[in-house]
Amino acid sequence: WREVLKWEGRMDELMEGQTNDGCNFILSVFARAHRSGMKSTGAIEHARSVTRLEERRVALLGAMERFRDQGEALCAVGDHLAMLRKRQEAATSFNRVRDIGAAHGFFSLESDACLGLGDLAMQEGRPEEGVELLRNALAAANLSESNESAYILNALRRLIAALFVTNAIDELEPLVPRFEEAAKMESREIGCLSCDELRCFYFRARLLQARGRPHE
């Protein structure tokens, strides 16, 4: 990623004469490099750079009428604004994603946007609203137009975590086995034990503890 970012100062020069697809590709490459940099160093400045680059992609993809990709880029903007603690701006981005999803029938965008909004609500001390948004994310994931299992697994993971916070044990009972089933499917798809399958043990242990059976 460091080698890629050496060229960032010449990014606009690289984009000159390119098609919209070419410009989108170049912006994506630099955004990915900053994501890698953030994972490697933890430097928050990378989140600011990702936000800036993804905002340019949002405008470009809208002009290209690639609305699903536009919504995904806008979700990335919201996620990184949330990392920067710009929660109101993040919520605005996620609500725009919901509008795009509703206008073009993309349930995956509705799911992703509700996950972002639900997480924000939980962080801001509004658990009832947060859980309701995360429930909506799961419902939309069930209707997702592509890679349904990944959307369902992501929504289940976040909803289950929120329900533990609110101590909604009865609602958790059927969701934890469902998460386990989805996680095992993920492991089969990738050909090795997934992190989510390991997370199942943690969820089951917490559920037993909440039921007053910690010795199990």
* HEC sequence for 113-167: HHHHHHHHHHHCCCHHHHHHHHHHHHHHHCCCCCCHHHHHHHHHHHHHHHHHHHC
In this predicted model, which residue has the larger pLDDT, 186 or 63? 63
Residue 180 main-chain phi, psi, to 5 deg: -60, -45
Using the predicted structure, report yes or no on whether residue 44 has a pLDDT greater than 80: yes
For 118, counting Cβ atoms within 10 Å of its Cβ (0-12 exposed, 13-18 middle, 19+ buried), the class is buried
Give the pLDDT mean for 100-116: 96
pLDDT in tens, 74-97: 999 999 999 999 999 999 999 999
Closest CA to 172 of 215, 142, 216, 202: 202
**Among 29-33, 53-57, 210-214, which stretch is predicted with the lowest mean pLDDT?**
210-214
Name the DSSP class of 213: -
The model's pTM is: 0.89
> Is residue 63 a contact partner of residue 20, using CB atoms and an 8 Å limit?
yes
Separation CA 151–CA 72 (nearest Å): 13
What pLDDT, on the 0 to 100 scale, is given for residue 109? 96
- Are 31 and 61 in contact by the 8 Å Cβ rule? The answer is no
Report residue 120 as tokens.
């924000």
Tell me the average pLDDT across 166-185: 92
Cβ–Cβ under 8 Å, residues 174 and 159: no
| Residue-wise pLDDT tens digits, 153-174 | 999 999 999 999 999 999 999 9
The arithmetic mean of pLDDT across residues 188-199, rounded, is: 89
